[in-house]
Structure 1
């Protein structure tokens, strides 16, 4: 039997002498606090792609989280949470606007044609479908890029509508 202990022994955790961050734990198991980042807020934006509930849950969840961290001491966390929420709300509104355009076009075709709604592609349907596809692909790209960039800096999608403002001073 090895009496000196193995490197995997949980009771023998080597501690650096000049640690930049304090160690947390109960003595036997210690770990360093991870650096603060806003990556999780951008990754939560991918919840939008969950069928049926995702398009409703993602904007609500990110909006609530952005409001909760308004006074967080880290600028990266605060701003990334706010901008991720604004982005998801913007994308959701674009898709909802496109769905309304599709519904209006289909209803108007039904009324004008006297009950026989054709399956022709009109310019309004084309624009609505292109908006949905652009929102879907754009949101996927911005969420993935935001998840990787937000670890070290603030991700700023320039076309997001600022629904949630920054923290008051």
Structure 2
């Protein structure tokens, strides 16, 4: 028997954001096997991808929020993971996104991250949020900037090294 908590789902004009489930393993395995995962700890073995899925599900249980699996409403295709992230060792709560192969350049990361940030600022009452972006990941930096986040400096993480910190606008500026 599988126990999965009931997680909030969000919808946008084109996307559904739902909690991660065991059925998402093949999509995560493919993502973490690819070079697209270079900036987020990949590539990973199939076992590493399974452990990442367990981490994604567990983050919800430990923090009460996490990253959603993002699907296209029209097709049901899984396009990535977007949501709220704050594991041990993180400088502060983050709005984070990973898009899977073939879904970049469509505005999905920005659209889903808007919904996730609105949830953080509304339902969760966050007063602020950051996004952490590797300096070489120019596509993610552009997403952060489209969200109104401003580059604030660098933070050093024990696993990821030097990462750029982008500060999101305050909740009242996002209304």
More strand by share: 2
More helix by share: 1
Q: Which has the higher contact order (CA 8 A, sep 6+)?
A: 1
Report which of the two structures shows the higher radius of gyration computed on alpha carbons.
Answer: 1
